[in-house]
Every structure is written in structure tokens, then in C-alpha cells.
Amino acid sequence: MKRFVVIGHKAATSGDFKLDDMAGGAGRLDILLRCINSSFFLSHGIRRDAEVYLVLQGEPNAPRTIRINGSEVRYLNPDERSTGALVRNALLKHLDGEEMRSSPGIYVSKRSFKEVLDTLQPISRLVYLKEDGADVRAQELDGDLTFIISDHQDLKEEEEAELLSREPIKLTLGPLSYHADHCITIMLNELDRRG
């Protein structure tokens, strides 16, 4: 399984945003929607061996985590608007406690970044994608992997401290800084090439 945890520092945590304003009124949710598309879509299909956790930290109900499981997901289309509608519908769910299914393969919870890491660390190797990491092409990668990236902002100091306390592999994808969704595409291409 290939997992991606993407932190949306200002991403809306309620479903009252307009689908026409996901870059503004939804707190740069557009970045996270592109990450969903990069994680799952192939030319003629969907990656069934991928899973995405969007950790939303914006107003008014932070945190909220949207989990999308590629082996179960339905109704996912490659345009941002319909993906935004799926995320919005998940955020409209009333959460009493544990994770709740919003639609096939899409779940919503009140998990924080730390709680997401607590869930994933026992079952997966954590990989922090950061510009000052080791070159990905020099690193052996196998087994269950969880890649942690941020939106258009770096991880906050306390988020990075929490992640680094878990001793992740720290990797860079190249000599430049890339958009979050591009990092996912590059990483998946690297894994595809390795078989």
C-alpha cells in the first residue's frame, strides 16, 4: 500500500464552502484536491493500492481528516469540482466519535496529525518528503510506505518535531521545490519504475 498524508494548514473543516471558491473560501482546498487526483488517477483507471489522508486544520472545526481508500472509492472523477463535492459531503457529516463513512471509500474523522501518525506508524514505514532529505533515487523503498507532505506551507515546527520523533526516512525528490501534487506524481512514478 502506498499512502500519502497531506496537511492542509488552512483547509476548511466544515462543508459550507462554495465549489466555485475552493482556492479562497475553502482555505486552499484546491491544493489538496489536486493531491487526491495525483494519488489515484491513471490514464485509464484508478490506483487501487493507494490511500490518502487529508489532515484539514482550517476553521471552524479543526482538525478533520478525510481518508480516501483506492480499493473502495467510487464516484471519484478527475475534475477538482466533483472531488471537492465529495470532500464537502464528508465534512457535512455529523461526527460523534470514530471515523465515519461518507461515501464508498471516503471517510471522515476528527483525527489530528499526531493521531493519524499513531494509526499509520505501526503498519507502515513513514517517509518525510522534504527538500533537504536524501536523494530518493539512492534510497531503497519497499513494503508499506506512508509519505508525509504539506500543502503550500512547510510543516509547522511542532508538526515537524512530532514527525521527526518517529524517525522517518527523510527524502528529497530533486534539486527544486515542487508543488505537493507534483511530489505525489513524482514519487508514484519512482515506485512504478521500481516495480
Per-residue pLDDT of 7-38, as tens digits, reads 999 999 999 999 999 999 999 999 999 999 99
pLDDT at 48: 98
User: Would you say residue 77 has pLDDT above 90?
Assistant: yes
Compute the distance between CA of residue 146 and CA of residue 120 in angstroms, rounded to an integer.
8
Q: Which helix (H) or strand (E) holds 47?
A: none
Compute the distance between CA of residue 185 and CA of residue 164 in angstroms, rounded to an integer.
24
Contacts of 182 (CB under 8 A, 6+ apart): 38
For the chain, domain boundaries = 2-194
pLDDT at 94: 82
pLDDT at 23: 94
- List the Cα angle 115/183/51 in 5-degree steps: 45
How do residues 125-167 score in pLDDT, each as one tens digit?
999 999 999 999 999 999 999 999 999 999 999 999 999 999 9
Contacts of 56 (CB under 8 A, 6+ apart): 8, 11, 12, 13, 32, 62, 63, 64, 65, 66, 91
Contacts of 194 (CB under 8 A, 6+ apart): 141
What value does the mean pLDDT take over residues 107-120? 98
User: Would you say residue 97 has pLDDT above 80?
Assistant: no
Contacts of 126 (CB under 8 A, 6+ apart): 117, 120, 146, 148, 163, 166, 167, 168, 169
pLDDT at 56: 98
Tell me which of 3.40.50.720, 3.40.190.10, 3.40.50.10790, 3.40.1280.10 is the CATH number of domain 2-194: 3.40.1280.10
pLDDT at 96: 78
User: Would you say residue 91 has pLDDT above 80?
Assistant: yes
Compute the distance between CA of residue 26 and CA of residue 183 in angstroms, rounded to an integer.
22
Compute the distance between CA of residue 168 and CA of residue 63 in angstroms, rounded to an integer.
23
Compute the distance between CA of residue 105 and CA of residue 117 in angstroms, rounded to an integer.
20
